[in-house]
A and B are shown apart, each in its own frame.
Chain A
Amino acid sequence: MSTMSDLKKIEVNTFQMIFLSDGLLDIYLGLTLIPYITWIYSDWAWSGILNGVVFVLFFPLFLYLKKRIVAPRVGMIKPGPARRRKMNLLVLATILAVLVTIAMIVFTGRAGGAASRMVAGIPMVFWAFSLAAVLITSIVAWLIDWPRLIVYGLLVAITIPVDAVYFLKSGRIPLTVIPMLVMVGTGIYMLVRFLRRYPLPQMGEMA
Chain B
Amino acid sequence: MSQEVEERKEFLPILENLDRVIHSPARLMILTFLYVVEEGDMVYLHNQTGLTWGNLSANVQKLKEAGYVEVKKSFVDDRPQTWVRLTDEGRQAFRDYRGQMKGVLDDLPD
Co-complex (A, B): yes
Where the two chains meet, the residues of A that have a C-beta atom closer than 8 Å to any C-beta of B are: 1, 3-5, 7, 10-11, 14, 17-18, 71-81, 83-84, 198, 201, 203, 205-207
Do the beta carbons of B43 and A80 come within 8 Å of each other?
no
Question: Complex: how many Å from CA A7 to CA B40?
Answer: 16
B residues 86-109 touching A (CB-CB < 8 Å): 98, 101-102, 105
A67, chain B: closest CB distance, angstroms = 9
Chain B residues within 8 Å of A201, by CB: 43, 46, 53
A75-B46 contact, Cβ under 8 Å, with A80-B37, A207-B56 = yes
A11-B36 contact, Cβ under 8 Å, with A1-B101, A4-B98, A74-B47 = yes
Chain A residues within 8 Å of B39, by CB: 77-78
How many residue-residue contacts, CB under 8 A, span A and B?
A: 84
What secondary structure prevails in chain B residues at the interface with A?
A: helix
A4-B45 contact, Cβ under 8 Å, with A79-B37, A80-B37, A206-B80 = no
What secondary structure prevails in chain A residues at the interface with B?
A: helix
Chain B residues within 8 Å of A71, by CB: 43
B10, chain A: closest CB distance, angstroms = 19
Question: Complex: how many Å from CA A74 to CA B48?
Answer: 9
With an 8 Å Cβ cutoff, the count of chain B residues facing the other chain is 31
Q: Which of B37, B47, B57, B80 contacts A11 (CB 8 A)?
A: B37
Do the beta carbons of A10 and B32 come within 8 Å of each other?
yes
Interface string of B23-39 (1 = CB under 8 A from A): 00000110011011111
Task: Name the CB-closest residue of A to B56.
Answer: A207
User: Mind listing 7 A-B residue pairs with CB under 8 Å?
Assistant: A1-B105, A3-B29, A14-B33, A72-B79, A74-B44, A79-B38, A207-B82
Do the beta carbons of A73 and B43 come within 8 Å of each other?
yes
Chain B residues within 8 Å of A80, by CB: 36-38
Task: Name the CB-closest residue of B to A198.
Answer: B47
Verify if B18 is at the interface (C-beta below 8 Å from A): no
Q: Which of A4, A5, A14, A206 contacts B37 (CB 8 A)?
A: A14
Do the beta carbons of B33 and A207 come within 8 Å of each other?
no
Do the beta carbons of A7 and B47 come within 8 Å of each other?
no
Chain A residues within 8 Å of B41, by CB: 75-77
Do the beta carbons of A75 and B101 come within 8 Å of each other?
no
Q: Which of B28, B36, B39 gathers the greatest number of chain A CB atoms within 10 Å?
A: B36
Do the beta carbons of A76 and B38 come within 8 Å of each other?
no
A207, chain B: closest CB distance, angstroms = 4
A97, chain B: closest CB distance, angstroms = 27
Q: Which of B47, B57, B101 gathers the greatest number of chain A CB atoms within 10 Å?
A: B47
B84, chain A: closest CB distance, angstroms = 10
A88, chain B: closest CB distance, angstroms = 14
Task: Name the CB-closest residue of A to B61.
Answer: A207
B54, chain A: closest CB distance, angstroms = 8
Chain B residues within 8 Å of A11, by CB: 36-37
